[in-house]
Amino acid sequence: MNKTELIDRITTEILKILAERAGTENHIQSPDMSFLDDDMVEQMKKKTSARIGVGKAGPRLRTGTLLKLRADHASAKDAVLCSVDEHVLKELGLFQVQSKCRTIEEHLTRPDLGRQLSEEAVQTLSDKCVKNPRVQIYVSDGLSNMAVESNAGDLLPVMIEGLKDRGIETGTPFFLKYGRVPTMDSISELLNAELTCALIGERPGLAAADSMSAYITYKARVGIPESKRTVISNIHENGIQPVEAGAYAVDIICQALEEQATGVDLRR
């Protein structure tokens, strides 16, 4: 049974059960997966971090699976609630500014404030950053401080050096606390950047709490449609390696500058 036939068989079994139980209050029974042999299951488990083929103890998860699930959930919470280690920022040579959010609770409940720079941040960026940069790169916690600590140390230098090797100077890098993706639009307007790239922590899941994305926007301005952004996501140890992602981001940025476009307007 090849991969396509396997997927079709699984889908058919699930749809059959759903169709039989539609409109009733009965509990949906498990689909018949007896056609899957142990080798097929092991191959599937190697291709995904999803919890498949973990078995059960009666109606519940096995103890080992349950403990791992709780540990991953705790790690995801820590990724959001803990602050970035100041030593990491110091090693990267990044000074810190903040959005209009004052606390982590406000950051999580008021995304509108996270999209705006505080008055102090505006003043600091105006004083410390190079104006009119061709490319402005900055790092932000977003929804995973762990992503910054795990990836920025490899990702940011690769991008800066890679662009420099291609004759493209970058602006002054910095760290934005309590930031959201659209904050890059305010930063772009303030510094008058031709292209802005935000390296930001993504919402953690139970498979990856340290995932980072690179959002790249040409001529970013407040109110710009999300479709105008290009994003490289899933940057972490078990996804796209930070060094590889940095090299790819350099290629995308160079193409975007050449075509003067990002997002849906950028040809692939």
DSSP codes joined into one string, 177-188: ET--TTHHHHHH
Using 50, 70 and 90 to split pLDDT, how confident is the model at 206? Answer: low
Superfamily of domain 81-265: Ethanolamine ammonia-lyase light chain (EutC) (3.40.50.11240)
pLDDT value of residue 267: 81
DSSP codes joined into one string, 68-121: HHHHHHHHHHHHHHSPPPHHHHHHHT-EEEEBS--SHHHHHH-HHHHTSB-HHH
Q: pLDDT (tens digit, 9 = 90+) per residue, 57-99?
A: 777 877 777 777 677 666 667 667 688 888 999 999 999 999 9
40 compared with 113, residue with greater pLDDT? 113
- Rounded to 10 degrees, the C-alpha dihedral 233/267/224/102 comes to 20
Domain ranges of the chain: 81-265
120 is known to lie in a ligand binding site: no
119 compared with 22, residue with greater pLDDT? 119
CB 255 within 8 A of CB 265: no
- Cα–Cα distance for residue pair 252/267, rounded to 1 Å: 10
Mean pLDDT, residues 250-264 taken together? 97
25 is known to lie in a ligand binding site: no
Residues 6+ positions from 229 with CB-CB distance below 8 Å = 181, 215, 216, 217, 262, 263
For the purposes of burial, counting CB atoms within 10 Å of the CB of 188, is it exposed (0-12), middle (13-18) or buried (19 or more)?
A: buried
Output the average pLDDT for the chain.
Answer: 86
- Cα–Cα distance for residue pair 268/261, rounded to 1 Å: 11
pLDDT value of residue 151: 95
- Cα–Cα distance for residue pair 182/226, rounded to 1 Å: 9
CB neighbours of residue 60 within 10 Å: 9
- Rounded to 10 degrees, the C-alpha dihedral 237/240/246/247 comes to 130
